[in-house]
Amino acid sequence: MTQLIDALFSTKALELAKPDQAFWYTSGSFGPFYINTHYLYGSAAEAEGLLGDIEHGLKSMPSFYDRILTKVRAQLAESTIYKKTIDQAAESIEAAFDLSRIDVISGGERRDFFFSIALADVLAKPHLSIRKDGTTYLHPNKNTAEWGGTLLEDSNSFCIAQANLENKKVLHVADIVNLASSWIDRWLPAVEKCGSRINYGFAILDRCQGGLDTLAEAGVDVCVIERTDKDFFAAALEADMLTEEQAG
């Protein structure tokens, strides 16, 4: 039993359908289980609280990153589950990719932000927030002063809309990979409009629905912590997290 599998069950992030029923997913497909990966923030209640903060924060993009980063840092200090998840994510990224070749970490609206903002902070990379409408907002650091774009300010906070990311390598962080439709339809085109492309990807989970193959075909090198395959459910069954009927 891995730490992540244990956390998915202890936070009730993984919900199993009854044997004669199924869940419909936002991708248009259906299956026997649903995963609220963002519950790894610590609990369902805490995750829904941050989701509300994200929705409110998106109304002002200049201050968005700082507001959510403050929440994320506080939660990392309080929640063992969230801290271990982010630590494991950072270790996975460092093992899979050469960090010196990554210039920007991006995340897509909304649940990606639970992990992309924390990882951008931990790995000391500027964060690119991608909205569902395709607009992008770079929350810069000391290395991004000459990158261009449109400066947006709000009180003591600022960001850069549609930054020039030419010759910059981007790592996109997601909560989960299903069919990768959001990547193909939204995140990749948004970064291309900034003059770059998503070279690398990371997700907490792969749902084994072909999304990783789709991303590989698009030229994105992706690593994940866990895959919801037979080994995943066998480990959960062995740890008495599931019944034989649920696992099969």
pLDDT digits (tens, 9 = 90+) for 22-42: 666 666 666 677 899 999 999
Q: And the tokens for 216?
A: 């590989």
121 domain residue, yes or no: yes
The CATH number covering residue 120 comes to: 3.40.50.2020
Cα–Cα–Cα angle for 161, 164, 166, rounded to 5 degrees: 150
Q: Which of 21-35, 91-105, 144-158 has the lowest average pLDDT?
A: 21-35
11 domain residue, yes or no: no
Give me the number of domains the chain comprises.
1
More confident residue, 6 or 235: 6
78 domain residue, yes or no: yes
Question: What confidence tier does 232 reach under pLDDT thresholds 50, 70, 90?
Answer: confident
39 domain residue, yes or no: no
209 neighbors 180 (Cβ within 8 angstroms): no
- Give residue-wise pLDDT tens across range 56-77: 999 999 999 999 999 999 999 9
Query: In Å, how far are 90, 170, 210 from 99, measured between CA atoms?
Result: 10, 11, 26
1 domain residue, yes or no: no
33 domain residue, yes or no: no
45 domain residue, yes or no: no
Domain that holds residue 85: 60-231
- Give residue-wise pLDDT tens across range 234-247: 887 786 676 666 55
Query: In Å, how far are 50, 67, 86 from 72, measured between CA atoms?
Result: 9, 9, 11
Question: What confidence tier does 248 reach under pLDDT thresholds 50, 70, 90?
Answer: low
207 domain residue, yes or no: yes
